[in-house]
């Protein structure tokens, strides 16, 4: 009576689901265990679908996707996140939609980076050198200052992948984020272009997974800056550039893109895709 084998033998579907789910969660992050986890999640997806009331199928897609990503199977991971996103959107689960968009974006970045590394050559070497510099950003030594300036210069690199990587590396270390905030503030009047390059790194980070405006309350909470972040299409190539630092009232007033800065208020922007400069312009001052 009550032997474990008996229980397993007679377990209900729901008990089986829970048992598999719990066993997958206990696996570690070695490749072998991740491979096992993928197997368990795949088995679970054979028992669970969108109509299963006691279990959220999105959680399984998410976990299997993360396992695939760990195994560097980026395409399979992206497929699982796409399934999760589609279901979450239909259910109007906003929190999950945002998380999933962020994870998708990060996975696409990792995939791109892996492709560059696999391609070897100068570009792969450049990314490795940048990663080495990033280690210095966590400290407070003169090396940190030099690493910051070197990566900051790469925000204007002619290669879009290098620019994007520089932005990612500068955004994470807390000391680097403090430097960015200082550059943004100090250069606002004297060198608006440099100020905007710094603001954009902060903006790309805060808008990851989202394509809409970040209002000033959130920007203040995250960075202590009285600004907002807006999206704007590039005037040259049409690419939708996100996370452009703007005055707090910027999102509430009409703005448009231009090749020049003629207007009541203008912000210089470097396009993430084509690398050309354009301006976001307001007809009246949105401060
Ligand atoms: Zn462009």
CATH code assigned at 70: 1.25.40.10
Cα–Cα distance list, 128 to 49, 117, 203 (Å): 42, 9, 24
273 and 131 in a common domain: yes
Residue 91 falls inside a structural domain: yes
pLDDT tens sequence across 24-72: 999 999 999 999 999 999 999 999 999 888 889 999 999 999 999 999 9
85 and 52 in a common domain: yes
Q: Report the separation in Å between the CA atom of 240 and the middle of ligand 1, taken as the mean of its atom positions.
A: 8
Select from 98, 117, 136 the last residue of a domain: 117
What average pLDDT score do residues 65-87 get?
98
Q: Report the separation in Å between the CA atom of 178 and the middle of ligand 1, taken as the mean of its atom positions.
A: 28
170 within 8 A of 151, measured Cβ to Cβ: yes
138 and 87 in a common domain: no
pLDDT score at 5: 42
Q: Report the separation in Å between the CA atom of 270 and the middle of ligand 1, taken as the mean of its atom positions.
A: 8
Average per-residue pLDDT for the chain:
93
Residue 75 falls inside a structural domain: yes
Structural domain count, the chain: 2
Please tell me the distance from the alpha carbon of residue 127 to that of residue 113, in angstroms, as a whole number. Answer: 8
Q: Report the separation in Å between the CA atom of 167 and the middle of ligand 1, taken as the mean of its atom positions.
A: 17
What average pLDDT score do residues 10-34 get?
93
Residue 6 falls inside a structural domain: no
pLDDT tens sequence across 116-140: 999 999 999 999 999 999 999 998 8
169 and 264 in a common domain: yes
Select from 117, 139, 159 the last residue of a domain: 117
Q: Which residues are CB-neighbours of 73 under 8 A, at least 6 positions away?
A: none
pLDDT score at 6: 43
Question: What residues make up the domain containing 256?
Answer: 120-282
pLDDT score at 211: 64
Say whether pLDDT at 13 is over 80.
Answer: yes
Q: Report the separation in Å between the CA atom of 166 and the middle of ligand 1, taken as the mean of its atom positions.
A: 18
pLDDT tens sequence across 233-283: 999 999 999 999 999 999 999 999 999 999 999 999 999 999 999 999 999
Supply 40's token pair.
């368990």
Q: Report the separation in Å between the CA atom of 238 and the middle of ligand 1, taken as the mean of its atom positions.
A: 6
Q: What is the pTM of this model?
A: 0.86
Select from 90, 117, 144 the last residue of a domain: 117
């Amino acid at each position: 009576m009550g032997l474990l084998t008996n229980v397993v033998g007679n377990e209900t579907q729901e008990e089986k689901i829970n048992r598999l789910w719990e066993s997958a969660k206990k696996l570690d992050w070695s490749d072998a265990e991740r491979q096992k986890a993928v197997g368990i999640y795949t088995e679970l997806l054979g028992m669970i679908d969108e109509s299963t009331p006691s279990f959220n199928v999105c959680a399984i897609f998410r976990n299997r996707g993360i396992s695939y990503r760990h195994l560097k199977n980026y395409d399979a991971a992206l497929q699982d996140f796409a399934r999760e996103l589609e279901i979450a959107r239909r259910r109007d689960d906003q929190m999950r939609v945002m998380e999933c968009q962020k994870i998708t974006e990060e996975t696409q970045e990792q995939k791109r980076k892996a492709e560059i590394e696999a391609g070897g050559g100068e570009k792969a070497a450049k990314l490795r050198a940048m990663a080495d510099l990033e280690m210095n950003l966590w400290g407070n030594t003169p090396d940190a200052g030099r690493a910051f300036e070197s990566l900051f210069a790469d925000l204007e690199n002619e290669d879009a992948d290098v620019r994007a990587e520089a932005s990612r590396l500068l955004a994470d270390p807390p000391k680097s984020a403090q430097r960015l905030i200082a550059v943004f503030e100090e250069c606002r009047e004297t060198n608006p272009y440099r100020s905007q390059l710094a603001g954009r790194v902060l903006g790309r980070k805060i808008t990851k997974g989202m394509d809409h405006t970040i209002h000033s309350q959130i920007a203040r909470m995250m960075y202590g800056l009285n600004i907002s972040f807006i999206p704007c299409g590039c005037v040259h190539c049409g690419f939708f550039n996100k996370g452009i630092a703007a005055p707090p009232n910027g999102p509430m007033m009409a703005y448009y893109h231009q090749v020049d800065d003629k207007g009541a208020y203008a912000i210089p922007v470097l396009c993430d895709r084509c690398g050309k400069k354009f301006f976001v312009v307001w007809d009246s001052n949105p401060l």
